[in-house]
A and B are shown apart, each in its own frame.
Chain A
Amino acid sequence: MNQVNRNDRLGPVKREFVQFFVLLKHFTVRLLNNDILKYENQKRESLIVLLTILAVAGGLVSAVLLMPYVGGMLGYTFDTAWIEKSFFITLSMAFTGIISVLNWDNMYLDEKDYLYLSGLPVKTNTLYAAKFFSLLVFVGMISLALNIFSTLVFTLYLGKIVNLNPFYDTGVFGFGLVHLVSGFMANLFVFMLVALIQSVLMTLLDTRRFKKVSMVVQAFLLMGFISVFAWFPKVYSSIDTFKESVSSFVYYFPPMWFVGFYEQMVGNYDFVFKPLYYIAGIAVVLMCDLYLLGIPLSFRRFSRASVVTGRGSKLTGPAVRLKGWFDSRFLEHPLEKAIFYFSLTTLGRSRRHRLHLVVSLALPSAFVATELTVLALTRGWDYFKGFDILSAAVPYVLYVFLIVGFRTVVLHPVMEEANWIFRMTELNSPVYYLRGLKKAFFFVGALPLFVLLLLFYIFCWGVIPAFYHSLSAFAASFLLFELFFVNYRKMPFSSGYVPGKANIKAFWFLYLGGFAAWVYFLSKLGIFLLENPLYYFIYYMGIYVLLYLVREYRHRKLKGFRFVFDEEPEPAMLSLGLDV
């Protein structure tokens, strides 16, 4: 029998350090294991690929930006290099912003951390410090990936020029270091800014409301960050003018703070950059302080709240009657009804699926909103009064992404091992399953979008043309939906999923071409119909005939089919072509 002395072998300080590093690793891994990467079951590989793409993209963008400096083109000197830096830092911040939104749930200590750690002898300060440093490590990794090649490019292209200038007082190594530090600070600021928004929401809202509002805020933030890629290149050409005129834009545009920091650190003591240098430092320190203040608040709210919540509230009164009317009117068959509510409940409960849908919509929405805003600012609101192809194309772009997003999301199972219930109850009437799915899409996806577009076009064109155009686009989305689901043979959110079947790498040009052709053709047609409303009759007849043909084709092709629950990889993936 062995007896161990009551004194622990580790001293208290060493024990705390051990705990700190264990927690640091745990939190960092959770930040890296993003929901977006989870589908492929190859998180580590996906992460390495993502970081490599970032590194290469950062290097390529830098090389293209700084090309004129290599040739010594007229007008490109050490004094103008800050413009390219502003471009690079802005895009880098926007990208980090997107990553931070995708990591929304891992920003602070969450319910899971509370469940694990509140019963263990871990000092709260150790816990909070580990969380904070995990964020620093994560942002550091992203910054390093974004800047590893760009640092080389910037140092090689600009370091020499910089050091020829007697007013600059940094060495080549120092220049590279400044590039890295500035990038890290800029990215850290964005990350902490998103965290600050979250902590404000957490303070103002209770847990239930916070969860609901979070998704909306994430969608808007995503759109905001994505839109930077659309509008900043347009502003970029004027940024020199802003600086020369000491425009307030320079002070209110955060990337410029870090450009100021960068320039001051490499020795460019331009009077415009000096205050920006201070602002950058203050902003980062302030954000970190606020974040550190927010950690205890986030953790303690779980001790107040009931940790395990119920399944949501039940409907009462008029809502029940409304639901009853809706069900009897639109969901006649019980299978339809079951799949309809199953789809809605899944989307409501699975953050992963919601996030995918939001991401697929945020991308086009951001670009559309940016383009429209730029048009409004450059050509005035009157521009939208006429029937223009750009404004007419909006619904077609959005519907395509909505349908693609929905199609992708339903393919991914929430919990594949639970699909036995569908296997056991599968009836020989798949049409009702598909109808339920289709109705879920139209009532929660297409219909709200139709209303939003209608409001937009009423503002632009007035009620009648707005209604005509929105409705025609809505009808086209029916056809597109049918086309996208023509070969669909899976139980939504339940069947197994093998990635790579779409083979985007090989067919991207076909997808892109198809998308461009669809949007262009229908936008042109839309304008033609607005100018010749009598042809709407033919248009709807055409849509109806095409819908009929597509459905007939599907019925014939999938006659008597069974749902696919276990998808097999492509034969080529199994044998790698070595079986010949």
Chain B
Amino acid sequence: MCNMKVISILVMASVVLLAVFYAVMEEDPCEGHRGTIVTRTFYSKWVRDKFKVTVYLPEDYEENRSVSYPVIYQLDGNNQGKLTAILASHSRCRGIVSTGIIVVGIGYYYDGWYDKRTRDYTYPRPDTSAKYYMYPGAGGGVRFYRFLKEELIPYVDTAFRTDNATRGRTLMGHSLGGYFALFTLFYDYQNERNPSKLFRNFIAVGPALDFNRDYLLDLETKLVLSGAVPERVSVYMAMSDREDTGPVPVFPILIMRFNKWEYPGFRFLTRRFENLKGPETIIPGYKEGLKFIFQD
């Protein structure tokens, strides 16, 4: 083989040059979630099933024993709980959000989890011509809501130092999870005798708005007509421009409705991501939603 020396020198020189360049580049010092993780199997009397509840505590939870933290209840907690914890932790480290956050991932044990999420995140029972009719157990949203209200939230508030006064609780989900978040907003403030104001913040990314046709729109109308006053509520909705392709484009209609809300302290942000497919909106949607809710 001929003159390898020059080639070697060239390669070495370029490696050194790049190493210097990359070394002087500003590096992101933030890491992922490093706080304590608590996992618990939770049997719900309302749903009559067990849940895998994973609580991600902030990094400084153990050190600052006098501090309480806001809580995010993350639907589809199996795969999205940790993601939200990482996003929250990273966003705090980079100064995007101003506080540590407890993330409660509400997940399932992996025996038919897709059917279970359809059962829990939907209401009412879909009619025969609706898209989700094929899931026989669909429509149990109210039972799941009661599970949150009467079983899970009391447990979390007792077991951990939660701060529900400053910002309120946050409910966050994607697809059917996003649908359930919006359903909870409309349902909680009108169907309960005493509106519990269980959650004040709702992050719905790619919500399955086509569930049971335009049921959510009806629910919103009922809420407005009921005279209930959702105070200091924040709603973040995001969707890919490749979704919401059903005969009734619910997303823009819902945006118009929310824009008309003039309740005290109501905040609303919406985003339509271009060129992203449905699940691809999860990370950017959650990231932006967290920023919207938790940035001072």
Which A residues lie at the B interface, using CB under 8 A?
1-8, 111-112, 115-116, 118-121, 123-125, 128, 169-170, 264-265, 267, 269, 277-278, 281-282, 285-286, 288-289, 292-293, 296, 307-309, 415, 417-418, 420, 424
Contact sample, A vs B, 19 pairs, CB 8 Å cutoff:
A3-B38, A6-B36, A8-B34, A115-B284, A116-B283, A119-B286, A120-B32, A123-B28, A124-B27, A128-B22, A169-B1, A265-B1, A278-B6, A289-B14, A292-B18, A292-B21, A293-B21, A308-B272, A417-B245
B33 — nearest CB in chain A belongs to which residue? A121
**A-binding segment of B67-75, B84-92, B110-118, B177-185:** B84-92
Count chain A CB atoms within 10 A of each CB in B1, B91, B247 and give the residue with the most.
Answer: B1
Tell me, rounded to whole Å, the shortest Cβ–Cβ distance linking A302 to chain B: 11
Q: Is the CB of A424 within 8 A of B10?
A: no
Q: Is B271 an interface residue (CB 8 A)?
A: yes
Chain B residues positioned under 8 Å from A115 (CB to CB): 273, 276, 283-284
Q: Is the CB of B30 within 8 A of A121?
A: yes
B281 — nearest CB in chain A belongs to which residue? A115
Q: Is the CB of A119 within 8 A of B27?
A: no
Q: Is the CB of B274 within 8 A of A309?
A: yes
Tell me, rounded to whole Å, the shortest Cβ–Cβ distance linking A300 to chain B: 10
Q: Is the CB of A121 within 8 A of B31?
A: yes
Q: Is the CB of A3 within 8 A of B36?
A: yes
Q: Is the CB of B6 within 8 A of A281?
A: yes
Q: Is B130 an interface residue (CB 8 A)?
A: no
Instruction: Compute how far the CA of A277 lies from the CA of B2 in the bound complex, rounded to whole angstroms.
Output: 10
A309 — nearest CB in chain B belongs to which residue? B274
A292 — nearest CB in chain B belongs to which residue? B18
Contact of B10 among A3, A5, A285, A307 (CB under 8 A): A285
Residues facing A in B20-56 (CB within 8 A) are: 21-22, 25, 27-28, 30-32, 34-40
Tell me, rounded to whole Å, the shortest Cβ–Cβ distance linking B74 to chain A: 15
Tell me, rounded to whole Å, the shortest Cβ–Cβ distance linking A519 to chain B: 39
> Told that A7-B34, A292-B22 touch, could you supply 5 new A-B pairs with CB distance under 8 A?
A1-B39, A115-B283, A119-B287, A124-B28, A125-B25
Q: Is B17 an interface residue (CB 8 A)?
A: yes
Q: Is the CB of B39 within 8 A of A4?
A: yes
Q: Is B165 an interface residue (CB 8 A)?
A: no
Chain A residues positioned under 8 Å from B286 (CB to CB): 119
Chain B residues positioned under 8 Å from A286 (CB to CB): 14
Chain B residues positioned under 8 Å from A111 (CB to CB): 275
Tell me, rounded to whole Å, the shortest Cβ–Cβ distance linking A352 to chain B: 11
Residues facing A in B73-125 (CB within 8 A) are: 86-87, 89-91
Chain A residues positioned under 8 Å from B35 (CB to CB): 6
Q: Is the CB of A119 within 8 A of B90?
A: yes
Q: Is the CB of B21 within 8 A of A120?
A: no
Q: Is B163 an interface residue (CB 8 A)?
A: no
Chain B residues positioned under 8 Å from A267 (CB to CB): 1-2
Tell me, rounded to whole Å, the shortest Cβ–Cβ distance linking A176 to chain B: 14
Q: Is the CB of B18 within 8 A of A112?
A: no
Q: Is B214 an interface residue (CB 8 A)?
A: no
Q: Is B7 an interface residue (CB 8 A)?
A: yes
Tell me, rounded to whole Å, the shortest Cβ–Cβ distance linking A134 to chain B: 17
B90 — nearest CB in chain A belongs to which residue? A121
Q: Is the CB of A264 within 8 A of B14?
A: no
Instruction: Compute how far the CA of A285 lies from the CA of B25 in the bound complex, rounded to whole angstroms.
Output: 21
Q: Is the CB of A264 within 8 A of B2?
A: yes
Q: Is B246 an interface residue (CB 8 A)?
A: yes
Instruction: Compute how far the CA of A38 lies from the CA of B141 in the bound complex, rounded to whole angstroms.
Output: 38
Chain A residues positioned under 8 Å from B255 (CB to CB): none
Chain B residues positioned under 8 Å from A277 (CB to CB): 2-3
Q: Is the CB of A269 within 8 A of B2?
A: yes
Residues facing A in B142-164 (CB within 8 A) are: none
Q: Is B253 an interface residue (CB 8 A)?
A: no
Tell me, rounded to whole Å, the shortest Cβ–Cβ distance linking A430 to chain B: 22
Q: Is B280 an interface residue (CB 8 A)?
A: yes
Tell me, rounded to whole Å, the shortest Cβ–Cβ distance linking B16 to chain A: 11
Q: Is the CB of B39 within 8 A of A120?
A: no
Instruction: Compute how far the CA of A6 lies from the CA of B2 in the bound complex, rounded to whole angstroms.
Output: 55
Q: Is B242 an interface residue (CB 8 A)?
A: yes
Chain B residues positioned under 8 Å from A124 (CB to CB): 25, 27-28
Instruction: Compute how far the CA of A428 lies from the CA of B271 in the bound complex, rounded to whole angstroms.
Output: 37
Instruction: Compute how far the CA of A307 lies from the CA of B271 in the bound complex, rounded to whole angstroms.
Output: 11
Tell me, rounded to whole Å, the shortest Cβ–Cβ distance linking A189 to chain B: 14
Q: Is the CB of B283 within 8 A of A6?
A: no
B35 — nearest CB in chain A belongs to which residue? A6
Tell me, rounded to whole Å, the shortest Cβ–Cβ distance linking B146 to chain A: 23
Q: Is the CB of B280 within 8 A of A112?
A: yes
Given A6-B36, A282-B10: A119 and B28 interface contact (C-beta under 8 Å): no
Given A116-B283, A269-B2: A6 and B34 interface contact (C-beta under 8 Å): yes
Instruction: Compute how far the CA of A330 lies from the CA of B2 in the bound complex, rounded to whole angstroms.
Output: 70
Chain A residues positioned under 8 Å from B17 (CB to CB): 289
Q: Is the CB of A119 within 8 A of B38?
A: no
Chain A residues positioned under 8 Å from B25 (CB to CB): 124-125, 296
B31 — nearest CB in chain A belongs to which residue? A121
Instruction: Compute how far the CA of A261 lies from the CA of B175 in the bound complex, rounded to whole angstroms.
Output: 56
Q: Is the CB of B246 within 8 A of A420?
A: yes
A111 — nearest CB in chain B belongs to which residue? B275
Contact of B22 among A3, A118, A125 (CB under 8 A): A125
Q: Is the CB of A415 within 8 A of B242?
A: yes
Q: Is the CB of A285 within 8 A of B30?
A: no
Chain A residues positioned under 8 Å from B275 (CB to CB): 111-112
